[in-house]
Amino acid sequence: MDFDAVLKKCGNFGRFQFLVLLCFSLTNLLSSMHYFAQTIISFTPKHWCYHEKLSNASFDEIRAVYAQTTDPHCTLLDGIVDGQPIVAEVGKCRRWIYEYESGYKSVTSDLNWVCEEAIQSAIGQSLYFVGSVIGTVFFGYLADKIGRLPALICTTLTGAIGDFLTTFSTNLPIYSIFRFISGLSTDTFYYLMYIMVFEYLSPRKRTLGLNMVTGIFYFLGLALSPWYALWSGSWRGYLYIASVPALLVLIYPFLICESAQWLIATQQYDRAVKCLKHVAKINKREVKDEVFDEFIAHYKQKTSEELTKKTNKDTFWGMFRTPRLRKFAIMMLLKNIFLALALDVISRNMEGLGSSPFVLFSTTSVVYVVGGLTIILLQNHIGRKGMAFSTFLVSAIIIGANSILIAFLDTERNALLFAIMTGLGRYGVVVSYEAEAQYSSEFLPTTVRGRGMANIHVAGFAFTSLHSYVIYLGYFYKPLPSICISLVMFLAAILCLSLPETMNQKLPQTLKDGEDFARNQRWYYFVCFDKTLSKMDGDVSNDRHCDIEK
């Protein structure tokens, strides 16, 4: 009797699963507030070089004076005569006048990281993502050694401690160190909780439960974060709000139990049975001891057989030793790197578009809900390759069009247009990201799927450390960040054409299967144009999806 059969007897969609989903909901809120804290605390208010004659002037008067200079925000003045600025020939700004939105003071205004010093914020943010790469590897290893639940608690508290310590930053070195600590937990506490939900939830309810909770609560975290920041009044206040609730993770062990499948994998059968009995008790199910005895016997025999018959030598790096699979692996890796970078830049580049960056970030976060619905409605009809290619291409066009508008239109006068374009661009990238996740998991052979997805994930995080520098390009030419991301998304779309469709295909189990996978497919093959398969799309794709989950 395997795990799924025993879990069904103990209850795979009852009160215990409700508690697991409740914890997952909180984790989604914490994850979104933690990950995008980088953006919230770094919003830079409108600013101008300080001059004593403007100390009591209104912001309209200040704007009118500096509008006559080539670089309004960073031009040092020698004096002002009859409203005409006299630009200083030497020297640079040491003090600024800030126009705070609702009184909110960000780290950039608090530490004066503007004009020539703006690069300091980008450096500090990049250290956060260096931490995320190391943390993903470390806490992933820790989860395999001490268990999912204790690793989940450790990584969540590490991120919270990093955010809390950041509030004591007074210079770049200290800020970078604390952002590095905060980055260590990025995403690991989300996917560890995701695994817990995945394992304890009924296979028929997984897609609905996981996507619904993620869509609703991750969106809520994103949408409410800017308002928490404005309410708190400062970047330090926001980090308190984002970090202190993480202490609630300490109650998780009282609500849920360790991953029973991990306990089985590590041959801790007695603890696995204890967890399953706890599930049955919460769900008010009566399960006989004979069921658990049969369960233990099944896995002991299975472990013994695997030890004697284990012949699989497939490794992640083995994908790079065969010509065809190597080509696909490299293309898939590049595509995921491009996508991770694009998602971060588009989600964070909210300043200078005519609207309040707080409002723009909050309102456009609704695309996470709409994007999830789009995947559910379209992916099984147009295929994995078709979904990935079309969303990459459309996103590239939208973001490229937005860069042209930024170059030629006044953002202040066309704030609504830029808000719509920003929302559409963010929507396209979010759909691309979600579509790519399933596409990659299906393409990778079963024997290296776990390791492959983890390594791709780490590579993506490594390159997201560049997002702050891409956004910084806007200081030299405002449309540059959008131009870069448009090109990146277009390249990703081209790479999609070289990859095979996975929908309605027998998915590869080993590296040999991966090398021979879909050999007869042409680069222009899209399942949505194959009329002979149109009637089977829904059923077959669902079956494949279930196979992957199992």
- Taking only the tens place, the pLDDT of each residue in 407-447 is 999 888 999 999 999 999 999 998 888 777 767 767 777 66
Write the pLDDT tens digit of every residue in 205-215.
876 777 788 87
- Tell me which DSSP letter residue 44 carries: P
What pLDDT is attached to residue 314? Answer: 67
CB 252 within 8 A of CB 399: no
Q: Can you tell me whether residue 79 is helix, strand or coil?
A: strand
What pLDDT is attached to residue 541? Answer: 42
What pLDDT is attached to residue 180? Answer: 95
Q: Domain residues of the chain, as ranges?
A: 1-45+100-308, 46-99, 311-550
Per this entry, what is the length of the chain? Answer: 550
Identical fold for domains 1-45+100-308 and 311-550, yes or no, is: yes
State the SS3 of 210-241: HHHHHHHHHHHHHHHHHHHHHHHCEHHHHHHH
Ramachandran sector of residue 194 (left: φ over 0; alpha: ψ -120 to 50; beta: rest): alpha
Is the alpha carbon torsion for 48, 53, 59, 64 positive or negative? negative
Compute the half-sphere exposure of residue 38: CA atoms within 13 Å on the CB side of its CA. 32
Ramachandran sector of residue 112 (left: φ over 0; alpha: ψ -120 to 50; beta: rest): left
Rounded distance between C-alpha atoms, residue 548 and residue 508, angstroms: 11
- pLDDT above 60 for 228: yes
Query: How many CB atoms neighbour CB 105 within 10 A?
Result: 18
Write the pLDDT tens digit of every residue in 276-313.
999 999 999 999 999 999 989 988 887 777 666 555 56
Express as a percent the part of the chain with pLDDT over 70.
Answer: 92
- pLDDT above 50 for 535: no
What the block records as the tokens of 302 is: 């299975």
Q: What is the mean pLDDT of the chain?
A: 86
Domain boundaries 1-45+100-308, corresponding CATH code: 1.20.1250.20
Query: How many CB atoms neighbour CB 188 within 10 A?
Result: 27
What pLDDT is attached to residue 483? Answer: 95
Q: What is the mean pLDDT of residues 355-370?
A: 91
What pLDDT is attached to residue 313? Answer: 63
What the block records as the tokens of 135 is: 């943390």
Write the pLDDT tens digit of every residue in 463-521.
887 888 898 888 889 999 999 999 999 999 998 888 888 777 777 777 887 788 878 77
CATH architecture of the domain with residue range 311-550: Up-down Bundle (1.20)
What pLDDT is attached to residue 307? Answer: 67
Query: How many CB atoms neighbour CB 271 within 10 A?
Result: 16
Express as a percent the part of the chain with pLDDT over 90.
Answer: 43
Highest mean pLDDT among 6-15, 134-143, 186-195, 491-500: 6-15
Q: What is the mean pLDDT of residues 26-36?
A: 93
Please give the distance of CA 365 from its chain centroid, rounded to a whole number: 13
Q: What is the mean pLDDT of residues 315-326?
A: 80
- Tell me which DSSP letter residue 288 carries: -
